[in-house]
A and B are shown apart, each in its own frame.
Chain A
Amino acid sequence: MICVTIAPLARGYATNVTTPTAHPQNLAATLRRLLYFALAAVALVAVLASCDTPLTTFEPRSDAAQRVHTIYIFVIVAASIVGFLVLAGMAYILWRYRERPGQKAQQIHGNATLEITWTVIPILILIAIAIPTIVWIAGTTADPDEDALHIEAVGHQWWFEFRYPGLGPNGEDLVTANELRVPVGRQVAITLEAKDVIHSFWVPQLVGKTDMVPGRTNILEKFTPTEIGTFYGQCAEFCGSAHALMRFRVHVDSHADFDRWVENMNAAPVEPEAGSVEAAGARVFGNFCARCHTIEGVSTEDIGPNLTLFGDRATLGAGILDSTPENLKAWVSNIRDIKPVLETTNAMPTFYVGDPLIDQLTEAQVDQVVAYLKSLKLR
Chain B
Amino acid sequence: MAANIGILRRPVSTEGVWGWITTVDHKRIGILYGVSAFIFFLIGGIEALLMRVQLAQPDGTFVEAGTFNALFTMHGTTMVFMVVMPAGAAFFNFLVPLMIGARDVAFPRLNALSYWLFIFGAILMNFSFFKAAFPDVGWFGYAPLTTSEYTLSSSTDYWVLGLQIMGIGTTAAGFNFVITILNMRAPGMTLMRMPLFPWMTLIVSFLIIFAFPPLTIALTLLLFDRFFGTNFFDTAGAGADPLLWQHLFWIFGHPEVYILILPAMGIVSDILPTFSRKPLFGYTTVVFAGAVIAFLGFGVWAHHMFTTGLGAWATAAFAGATMAIGVPTGVKIFNWLATLWGGSIQFKTPLLFALGFISMFMLGGLSGVMHAAVPVDTQQQDTYFIVAHFHYVLFGGSIFGLTAGIYYWFPKMTGRMLSERIGKVHFWVMFIGFNMTFMPMHILGVLGMPRRVYTYSVDQNWAGLNLFVSIGAFVIAVSILLLIINIVRSARKGEAAGMNPWAAATLEWAIPSPPPHYNFAVIPTVRSQHPLWDEEANAVEPPPLPAHGEPHMPDPSYWPIVIALGITMVAGGLLIWQANTWLGLLVIAVFGFVGIRGIYGWVFEPVAEESAERVHAHH
CA distance in complex: A105, B278 (Å): 6
For chain A, residues 167 to 206, give those with C-beta under 8 angstroms from any C-beta of chain B.
192, 196-198, 200, 202, 204
Q: Please give the distance in Å from B167's CB to the nearest CB on chain A.
A: 23
CB of A23 within 8 Å of the partner chain: no
For chain B, residues 425 to 451, give those with C-beta under 8 angstroms from any C-beta of chain A.
442-443, 445-451
B35: A residues at CB distance < 8 A: none
Q: A105-B278, A198-B142, A211-B308 are in contact. Are A49 and B457 (CB under 8 A)?
A: no
Return the contact of A72 from the options B335, B347, B379, B381 (Cβ within 8 A). B379
B377: A residues at CB distance < 8 A: 208
- CB-based contact A213/B337 at 8 Å: no
- Stretch from B88-96, B203-211, B314-322, B556-564 contacting the other chain: B314-322
- CB-based contact B65/A56 at 8 Å: no
CB of B64 within 8 Å of the partner chain: yes
CA distance in complex: A140, B315 (Å): 11
- CB-based contact A53/B460 at 8 Å: yes
CB of B471 within 8 Å of the partner chain: no
Return the contact of A213 from the options B242, B323, B447, B448 (Cβ within 8 A). B242
- CB-based contact A209/B343 at 8 Å: no
CB of A267 within 8 Å of the partner chain: no
CB of A354 within 8 Å of the partner chain: no
Q: Please give the distance in Å from A352's CB to the nearest CB on chain B.
A: 19
- CB-based contact B374/A57 at 8 Å: no
Q: A198-B242, A200-B307 are in contact. Are A45 and B446 (CB under 8 A)?
A: yes
For chain B, residues 254 to 290, give those with C-beta under 8 angstroms from any C-beta of chain A.
276-279, 281-285
CB of B225 within 8 Å of the partner chain: no
For chain A, residues 33 to 87, give those with C-beta under 8 angstroms from any C-beta of chain B.
45, 48-49, 51-58, 67-68, 71-72, 75-76, 79, 82-83, 86-87
Q: Residue on B with the closest CB to A108?
A: B342
User: Which interface class (under 10, 10 to 19, 20 to 34, 35 or more) fits B?
Assistant: 35 or more
- Stretch from B24-32, B78-86, B354-362, B486-494 contacting the other chain: B354-362
- CB-based contact B152/A105 at 8 Å: no
B347: A residues at CB distance < 8 A: 98-99
CA distance in complex: A54, B283 (Å): 50
- CB-based contact B319/A94 at 8 Å: no
- CB-based contact B355/A94 at 8 Å: yes
Q: A110-B283, A340-B64 are in contact. Are A53 and B342 (CB under 8 A)?
A: no
- Stretch from B107-115, B181-189, B324-332 contacting the other chain: B324-332
Q: Please give the distance in Å from A310's CB to the nearest CB on chain B.
A: 21
CB of A236 within 8 Å of the partner chain: yes
B468: A residues at CB distance < 8 A: none
B381: A residues at CB distance < 8 A: 209, 236
A89: B residues at CB distance < 8 A: 337
CB of A234 within 8 Å of the partner chain: yes
- Stretch from B364-372, B405-413, B569-577, B599-607 contacting the other chain: B364-372
Q: Residue on B with the closest CB to A107?
A: B278
CA distance in complex: A232, B449 (Å): 12
Taking Cβ atoms with an 8 Å cutoff, the residues of B that contact A are: 64-66, 69, 136-138, 142, 144-145, 150, 152, 235, 240-243, 276-279, 281-285, 307-309, 312, 315-316, 319-320, 323-324, 326-327, 330-331, 333-335, 337-338, 340-347, 355, 358-359, 362-363, 366-367, 369-370, 372-383, 442-443, 445-457, 459-462
Sample 21 A-B pairs with CB under 8 A, ordered by A number: A45-B442, A57-B448, A71-B375, A76-B370, A79-B366, A86-B337, A97-B343, A99-B346, A115-B285, A118-B330, A122-B330, A133-B372, A133-B373, A208-B375, A209-B381, A213-B242, A219-B309, A234-B450, A238-B137, A243-B452, A244-B453
Taking Cβ atoms with an 8 Å cutoff, the residues of A that contact B are: 45, 48-49, 51-58, 67-68, 71-72, 75-76, 79, 82-83, 86-87, 89-90, 93-94, 97-100, 103-111, 114-115, 118-119, 122-123, 126, 129-130, 132-134, 136-138, 140-141, 157, 192, 196-198, 200, 202, 204, 207-211, 213-216, 218-219, 221, 232, 234-245, 320, 340, 342
9 nearest A-B pairs in the assembled complex, by CB-CB distance: A208-B378, A55-B448, A244-B453, A218-B309, A105-B277, A340-B65, A106-B342, A110-B282, A215-B235
